[in-house]
Amino acid sequence: MTNLDLTKLPDYLKQQRWFSGKAWPIKHVTVVDHAAMESGPCSFTLAVVEVVYELGKTERYLLPVKSGPDGVRDALEDDECLRALFRLIREGASVNSASGQVKGEWLNTPEGLQAMPSPLTVRRLMVEQSNTSLVLGEKVILKIIRKLEAGVNPEHEVGRFLATKTSFRATPTLLGALNLEGTAGATLAVAHRFVPDATDGWKYTLDRLRQERALGERFLGEMRDLGQRLGELHNAFASASADDPAFAPEPLLQEDLQRWSASIVGELGVTLADAGRLHADLEGRRESLIGYAKRLAHVTPSGQKIRIHGDLHLGQVLRANNQWLIFDFEGEPARTFTARREKYSALRDVAGMIRSFDYAEATVALEGGEPRGRVGPSRDAFLEGYRKATQGAPYLPADSATFDVMLRAFELEKLLYEVRYELQNRPDWVRIPVEALLRMEESK
């Protein structure tokens, strides 16, 4: 193993842009597993370290490291090390670790059978993020997961399900993964099909809203297409058979509705306690907003719980070749893997995307543009496409009234999350969800 000087690891970690614990004093760092990677011109170590903070919290990180003139350095800065890591995935090979093994996985799909260029080019994506992403041969995007979590990684699990069990291809298809098996088990990396010339859906929508004073049929058609694409994703999730318990649909029960309703009511109390001090008019709307959440508990249960995206918004879709692609199935980063893998109402994803339309319009307004009432038409077009793709789907409510009650409740849930997020991170933006809360009450 590369000689890791544990006394220097706290300083090393705090210099890395992907390390999320910079603000907390570190008590100590220990290596919980490691594997020696010996491959031609590059020898390095894949180390999993556990960081224990002074306050008692612990986190685990993946450190691909090698010896350098000034001590330990990041092996991913070396193209040969990266190629060696990718070969392990592409060949489905394995390397023993101290307490298990590092195992590559390559899916036997049409995309996975494509030849890769030789020599394999490496292009690093210079973006601030919690992982390290690289484009290999302009055909594969490899994400090295830096902060590790125990359990089944939803991005790997969902990608594998879509690629091998469904015909849904409106996504950068999962090609393979690297997993650590053993006591420190975790997914270390995932490889997806690289989509060249793709535009982030958030940026694409903002550009369109800046250009168009009134929404034309082209844009509304694109919103219908986006709704249809989400409906197709939900249809794929719901297609799982009973012998696949991680994905098989489950009946939606009254107790589910009651539990979700109670959770939203609780979030409403916490959120208004914080936001009410800055926006006193919210307090006067408390009871009517609670009414939205409580109605969820009293509808007749119909439909099913299925796996969903879990963190859907315009930033989680791509526009490429005049088509929408949905990606990033990690789920909400603040939730545990177990919570992210929970089955839910598909309408939670629908609510997340609808809220993103409001944010896009409000962002243009904050830049100096005038709000032009474009959220409503975008919402209607998106829902039209979604309902068309999911007509008669057993996982959705049986009647339109129940559909509307559930969707409004999940929109409220998302709004409350947005208020809390903006209060903590961007106080100047909190008026966006607050004004939407006030409009929601008024349109009851």
Q: For 249-261, how does the pLDDT look when each residue is reduced to its tens digit (9 = 90+)?
A: 999 999 999 999 9
- At residue 443, the pLDDT reads 52
- At residue 367, the pLDDT reads 85
Together in a domain, 86 and 124: yes
**Which residues on adjacent β-strands are paired with residue 232?**
none
Kindly report the CATH number assigned to the domain that includes residue 204: 3.90.1200.10
Question: Strands 186-193, 174-182: parallel, antiparallel or unpaired by DSSP?
Answer: antiparallel
Together in a domain, 119 and 74: yes
Inside any domain, residue 1 = no
- At residue 371, the pLDDT reads 65
Give the domain range for residue 377: 199-442
- Band (pLDDT 50/70/90 cuts) for residue 2 is low
Inside any domain, residue 147 = yes
* Residue 326 reports pLDDT greater than 60: yes
Section 157-163 average pLDDT: 98
| Residue the block writes with tokens 């994703």 | 233
Phi and psi angles of residue 404, each rounded to the nearest 5 degrees, phi first: -65, -40
Together in a domain, 121 and 180: yes
Q: For 332-390, how does the pLDDT look when each residue is reduced to its tens digit (9 = 90+)?
A: 888 889 999 999 999 999 999 999 999 999 999 888 877 678 899 999 999 999 999 99
* Closest to 85 measured CA to CA, from 172, 144, 131, 34: 144
* Residue 202 reports pLDDT greater than 90: yes
What is the rounded CA–CA span in Å between residue 116 and residue 133?
18
- At residue 3, the pLDDT reads 64
Inside any domain, residue 150 = yes
Q: Pick from 135, 163, 193: which residue ends a domain? A: 193
Number of folded domains that form the chain:
2
Together in a domain, 100 and 81: yes
Together in a domain, 232 and 312: yes
Question: Strands 26-39, 42-53: parallel, antiparallel or unpaired by DSSP?
Answer: antiparallel
Q: Pick from 175, 193, 211: which residue ends a domain? A: 193
Residue 298 near residue 255, CB atoms below 8 Å: no
Together in a domain, 175 and 203: no
- The edge-to-edge listing of strands for the beta sheet with 323-326 is 199-200, 317-320, 323-326
- At residue 79, the pLDDT reads 94
- Band (pLDDT 50/70/90 cuts) for residue 319 is very high
Region label for 137, one of left (φ > 0), alpha (ψ between -120 and 50) or beta (otherwise): left
What is the rounded CA–CA span in Å between residue 314 and residue 320?
14
* Closest to 93 measured CA to CA, from 194, 177, 2: 177
Phi and psi angles of residue 135, each rounded to the nearest 5 degrees, phi first: -105, 125
Tokens of 142: 């490899």
pTM: 0.94
Q: For 68-93, how does the pLDDT look when each residue is reduced to its tens digit (9 = 90+)?
A: 777 788 999 999 999 999 999 999 99
Tokens of 141: 């995007």
Q: Pick from 142, 171, 193: which residue ends a domain? A: 193
